[in-house]
Every structure is written in structure tokens, then in C-alpha cells.
Amino acid sequence: MAIITDEQNKFFRLVTKNTEYQMKADNFGVLKHLWYGKHVNTDMDYLLQYPEISFSGNIYEAENDRTYSLNTLPLEYSCEGNGDFRVWALSAEHPDGTRALDLRFADFEVRKGGYAFPGLPAVYSDENETETLEVTLEDACSNICVTLFYGVLEELDIITRAAVITGGRETVYLERAASLCLDIPRGEWEWVHFHGRHAMERVTERAKLVHGVQESSSVRGASSHQQNPAVLLCSPDCTETSGECIGAALMYSGSFSAKIQLDEVDQTRLVMGINPDQFRWELRSGESFYTPEVILSYSADGMEKLSHNFHKVIRNNVCRGQYKLAERPVLINNWEATYFGFDEEKIFNIAKQASELGVDLLVLDDGWFGKRDSDCSGLGDWTVNENKLRGGLGKLVERVTGLGMKFGIWFEPEMISEDSELYHAHPEWAMTIPSRKPIRSRFQLVLDMTNPEVREYLFNSVSAVLKSADISYVKWDFNRHIADWYTPTLGKDNLGEMPHRYVLGLYELLERLTNAFPNVLFEGCSGGGGRFDAGMLYYTPQIWCSDDTDAFERTTIQYGTSFFYPVSAVGSHVSAVPNHQTGRVTPFESRAAVAMAGSFGYELDLNTLSDDEKNAVRGQIARFKKYGELIHNGLYYRLSDPLSDKVAAWEFSDGKDALVQGMVFRTAPTSLQLLVKLRGLDPDKNYRLDGTDFTASGAALMSGGYLLPRTWGDYVSFELYFRQI
């Protein structure tokens, strides 16, 4: 039993294999957070403190007791106007303009199985894998209710959290409605977040918490390249393999906020959910507002264990469809090979060479439709450009599939070019503010995904293409952020609903299309990894990780991505040198080693390679297929930090075998050989390095390590396969 309740004392314990979470409603009905950490098997109420901190609000029922304050107690869900001056999870404007709320325990329910809310992605599972606790709190004055949902996946050490806000006596406007409030009254914490920019996503940054609020957020209408909706709190001594950490990943692809506050008495609060800066939601009596879900995990054994928990839950309980655990096709994408300059012969020749070398799938990227000879025009017109693809799409698909390859195609459904037939027919479908000139980005505007007519058009036009030929894969791109928040479908008082309604519209369309085409592999993309989040992974089991295909830079991007997201979710390709984003030249094998730590493919014209390089491609594909099971189903270990070490090294292991790959950055003369220490092996077993006579015990390889071969030149990769004997 993962959820243990003590009804009389209103005490709730969520117990997973290695973790325990506790909360309790006190005599005032205030739901206090007691614990999230290792198993303790004790009511942790005894650790609560009631300090008298001046300028803290005291609830009226506390009478003359100045020590009872919601400003200092750890709470399960904080709200505005009750004397708690820390970050609020919930704020609402009442009809009289006031904003106070005071949530007290009303009810609870425990049941088998998970939960899901209308129109939102959610962690799913077998009935026996999850138990759900619902705790309802009520504001007596307004009758507004908040039901806190806790989904407990015992085996995976995962707890999901979300909130449902139900309207009370009168209509109110929600001004913030977070998914998660997590108070941690004990200990010193640091935080890790993942920042970046286009073509440099998810750079890991770890910092000591400072007093006040630190935030990871987006106001871009997408989860963004700039900050990722996943954060980590860790003890200062936390490493990959030791120390405490808590991870929280929001299943949401729009504007988000994760605020971490270190308060006046050194307590920590994390509030995570839809970004309140772009949110105002009319909540009528009896109606419910559903927040997106947060996936939470705790590890007492460092970040590696935490990452493994997230990788498992995302692979097994977030990603869906026939590809979620299946071997992914090795693909060739024509983007960096041709950009917009192609015709059917050029594409066919790329496919032909690729098929001869063992590639499974050709992806025809941007430029195949409408008047799309550059990025200035054509978006929205999802019909083939026969000036480029003479004979039509069907003919090209037939020729490519005739080679024994699968065919995939690029769309950017949410966008519209002013220079397009769609814009001339429906200018009102583009998001623009009537009294202003629109903001352009990559010359394009965004379609109003809150409008059902737009979604219907997109469903029909994308479906028509997918039905017109034997298409097995879709790349779903999104190449700008949203500034012009206006829709004629909502009145002026409700425009604050638009950013969230946009995401709901996107999810509805993705749900419809993925259901209509269950055999198609959908890959997410947003100028690379600008919408790399657990929400998108519910619809698209892999996401193009970054537009930066430079193998050296990719080690940093993929390192940051790996804290929450599994390797199978990471689209990663071998591209040409000098690299198109950085001009850097890295060896061919190094580019392959880095791309193999993902869902593997190529993004160059293989016809331009020498015979030796073509043979290398054959070998790389064969190796990826040989190791594919271990790479995607094994556990992933970060063996070094590419931001600070001389080497990027990672390992895939199932405990029996281990594949260690990586790249050396700073080759130095007259120095000792670099060393990597393996992890996840059986210390008592011996391992042989493939292709050599070298053997060592798991204990030796993990404690002592393995000396990397000397390298000549920079960015040289290594690949070591240790087999248990």
C-alpha cells in the first residue's frame, strides 16, 4: 500500500520504494507539509516549529497565539491573503475586488490507479502501478475548493502532483493556479536549472539558493530554449552518486514558472506551474480549472538515481504509442544537406545513397510545400510544391519506399506566413492585435490555436498529406515564440486565458492526429529543443534536441538534457564539417559517438562522403543497431561533466554489459592518460573489454577506473564495450 491514511488525525503518508512524503491537517484544518525524503516511519510533526516571527500573519482562530502563522509553517498549497507572505500557489480576484483565500481541510479520497484531466497530458499506468490520493481544501468564505492530487508510483519512486480549483458561490478570476507547492523547512539547498538559447539549450547551472526568489520560467508561449520546465533542488554535498536531491518536471509546453524562495528563516519553497504573468482565468460557480501535472522524485543517492527515476517514468508512463519503447529508425534528414534548395532528384539521390549505407528512413524537411523557397513564405499551405517535387509527393514517396526505406515529412502546423494562400483566405486566423502591427519572428506569424476552425483546418490538411502517400514519420516544428496575445474568440475580460488555451488547442490537435495515425512516429521540434518537455513527450516520443549539431557543443546540451529526459527522447544527428552552426571540425567518428547517445540519424548528403567515410557510416549504423537495446533500455550514467572536465564520458549499462562512449576535448602533451570510472556494474563480477584481452572486476572498473587511450588532436571519441564474463 503506497498511500497510508490516518483518518482521525488527518495524517497522510505516500510511501514509495525508497521515499516517503507526509502531510497532515491540524486542528485548524490547515494542511501542513511534514516530510519528503527517505523512509522515516514516524509522524514527522514533531519537527514542526512555531517560532514567533514578527510581521507574520496569525489566523484569527489562533487567538492570542502569535506563534501560529501560515507565514512560517510548511504548507501543501499556499494562497494569497491569509498571512503567508511567501510565494503563492493560488490567487483569485473575488467579485468585490478582494483577493483573500483561506484553505482548510474538507475531505480526502484514496483510490487505485492514476488520474488524468481533460485535455492535458498525464502520467499513465496500469491500475496496480499507481495509487491516487485526493485531498480537498475549501475556502469557507467563497466556497472555492482546491483538490490536491497525488499519484504515487511506488516502484518508480515517483509522485505526481496537480491541483483542481473548483468555483464557489460566485464567479472569480484566478490569477495564479500552480500545480505544485513544496515547502522544505529543513536543510541547506542548492538548485540546478537548465538555461540556454536557440542552438544551445539546457545548459546546466547549479547555484546556492539566495534569500528571496529565484526563478526558472518562460513567457514565450512555449516551454522554451531559454529555461526548461524542470528543476532540481540538491544538498550542497550532492554528487551524481551521493547526497539528497528532489527533481520536479512540469508536464507542460507553454509559459511556465518555477519559483524557489529561500525565506526569512531559511526555509525553502518551490512553486511550479503555469506562469501567472500570463494568466487570468474566469472560474464560474461549480466549474473546475485543471492544472498541468508535476512529476516529482526524491533521491538520497545523488542525481544519477533521480535521473534514472525520471527516465523510467517518461519512457514507460509518459511516452505513448507503438514507438515508445521500440527501436527507432535510423534516419537521414535533408535540412543541413540542402536547406530550401532541392528538387525530387536531389532528395531521391540522398535517399538512395542513404539506403545503400543502411539508413531506414528519409525525412523531407522544410521547403516541400506551398511557395516555400525561403523562410519568408508558404507556411500554412500544406500542399506539395510541384515546381520542386515534379510528379508530386506521392511519386517521390513511392520512389523512396521502393528503395526499402520509410518516408517522413516536416510540418510547422502552428505557423502562418503572410505570403501564403492561407493568410489571404484567413488573415483573422493569425494571432495579431487589431490596433497594432504584429511582431514577426523568422518572418512568420502564429496561428490562433484557441480557434477550433484553425485546428480543424490543420487536422484536415496534415491528415490529407499523411493519407496521400505511405508516410511513416512526422517532424512537428515550431519556430518562433508568441508575443501578440489576442484572439477574437475570447472577450477582453478573458484574454488572460489565451496562453493556456493555446496549449490546450495544441494538445487537442496532437491527440487527434496521433490517434488518427497511430503508426506514424511523431518527432517534436521547436527550432531544435525549444519545446523539450514532458508535455510534448506525451505526444511525440522523441524531440529534435537542438539545432546545434556540433558534436562538441552537443555533449553539453545532451548532458543537461539527460538530467530529466531519457536518451530515446533525444533526436541526435551526424552532420557535415565544418559544422554549420560553429564552423568547428570534429572527427567523423566523434560525431557518430555523440549522435548515438540519442535517437540516431544523419543530416548531410551522404553522396559527398569519401568511400572510407561511407564504410564508416555502415559501421556506425551497425553498431547503433547492435547497441540500440542497451542504449535505449539500459540505464544512462553521466561519467563526467563536459562543462568542467577534459572529457565528456557517458555509459549505458544493464548491469551485465556496459558501453562507455565519449570525447576528449583538451588533449595535452606529456600528461598522464585520462581516466573514467564506470558505474552500475556488479563489483563481484569480471568484465572483458571487447576487442582486447583486458579484464578487470566491476569493483576495479568502478573504484579504480579505466585509462582512456592516448589521443592525438581534440574532439577524439572513444567507445569501450565491457562484457561481463
Sequential DSSP letters for 611-622: HHHHHHHHHHHH
Q: How far is the CB of 228 from ligand DGJ (least distance, A)?
A: 16
Smallest CA-to-CA distance from 71 within 16, 537, 530, 80 is with 80
Closer to ligand DGJ at the Cβ: 525 or 696?
A: 525
Closer to ligand DGJ at the Cβ: 150 or 369?
A: 369
- Window of 60-68, 185-193, 522-530, 716-724 that interacts with ligand DGJ by CB under 6 A: 522-530
- Window of 93-101, 242-250, 524-532, 625-633 that interacts with ligand DGJ by CB under 6 A: 524-532
Q: Could you give the CA distance from residue 41 to residue 47 in angstroms, rounded to a whole number?
A: 14
Smallest CA-to-CA distance from 193 within 666, 610, 564, 586 is with 564
- Our finding on whether 687 is near ligand DGJ (CB under 6 A) is no
Which residue from 84, 138, 360, 366 is in contact with ligand DGJ, where contact means CB under 6 A?
Answer: 366
- Our finding on whether 544 is near ligand DGJ (CB under 6 A) is yes
Which residue from 410, 507, 539, 552 is in contact with ligand DGJ, where contact means CB under 6 A?
Answer: 410
Cis peptide before 95 (omega within 30 of 0): no
Q: How far is the CB of 355 from ligand DGJ (least distance, A)?
A: 21
96 to 93, 144, 169, 513: CA distances (angstroms) = 8, 15, 13, 44
Closer to ligand DGJ at the Cβ: 189 or 410?
A: 410
- Our finding on whether 527 is near ligand DGJ (CB under 6 A) is yes
Exposure class string for 65-99: b at 16+ Cβ within 10 A, else e: eeebbbbbbbbbbbbbbbbbbbbbbbbbebeeeeb
Closer to ligand DGJ at the Cβ: 154 or 366?
A: 366
- Our finding on whether 335 is near ligand DGJ (CB under 6 A) is yes
Closer to ligand DGJ at the Cβ: 82 or 333?
A: 333
Stretch 204-223 residues interacting with ligand DGJ (CB under 6 A): none
Stretch 446-485 residues interacting with ligand DGJ (CB under 6 A): 477, 479
Determine contact, residues 16/152, Cβ cutoff 8 Å. yes
Residue 2, Cα to own-chain centre: how many angstroms?
Answer: 26
Q: How far is the CB of 368 from ligand DGJ (least distance, A)?
A: 11
- Window of 156-164, 485-493, 521-529, 636-644 that interacts with ligand DGJ by CB under 6 A: 521-529
- Our finding on whether 525 is near ligand DGJ (CB under 6 A) is yes
Sequential DSSP letters for 469-508: TT--EEEE-----------TTS-GGGGGGHHHHHHHHHHH
Q: Biggest alpha carbon distance in the chain?
A: 86
Q: How far is the CB of 510 from ligand DGJ (least distance, A)?
A: 18
Instruction: Count CB-CB contacts under 10 A for residue 265.
Output: 12
Q: Could you give the CA distance from residue 286 to residue 714 in angstroms, rounded to a whole number?
A: 64
Closer to ligand DGJ at the Cβ: 69 or 226?
A: 226
- Our finding on whether 528 is near ligand DGJ (CB under 6 A) is yes
| Residue of this chain nearest to ligand DGJ (CB atom) | 366
149 to 108, 317, 403, 526: CA distances (angstroms) = 10, 17, 51, 31
Closer to ligand DGJ at the Cβ: 315 or 475?
A: 475
Respond yes or no: is residue 613 known to be catalytic.
yes
* Sign of the four-CA dihedral 338, 339, 345, 350: positive
Closer to ligand DGJ at the Cβ: 198 or 623?
A: 198
Catalytic: which of 126, 356, 613, 629?
613
- Window of 16-24, 50-58, 523-531, 534-542 that interacts with ligand DGJ by CB under 6 A: 523-531
Between CA 438 and CA 447, with CA 442 as vertex, the angle to 5 degrees is 55
Catalytic: which of 448, 484, 533, 547?
533
Q: How far is the CB of 554 from ligand DGJ (least distance, A)?
A: 14
Which residue from 131, 365, 414, 497 is in contact with ligand DGJ, where contact means CB under 6 A?
Answer: 365
Helix (H, G, I), strand (E, B) or coil at 355: helix
The x, y and z cell numbers of residue 697, run together, are 572486476
Smallest CA-to-CA distance from 90 within 324, 282, 276 is with 276
Q: Could you give the CA distance from residue 94 to residue 99 in angstroms, rounded to a whole number?
A: 6
| Residue positions annotated with a catalytic role | 533, 613
Contact set with ligand DGJ (CB under 6 A): 335, 365-366, 410, 477, 479, 525, 527-528, 544, 547
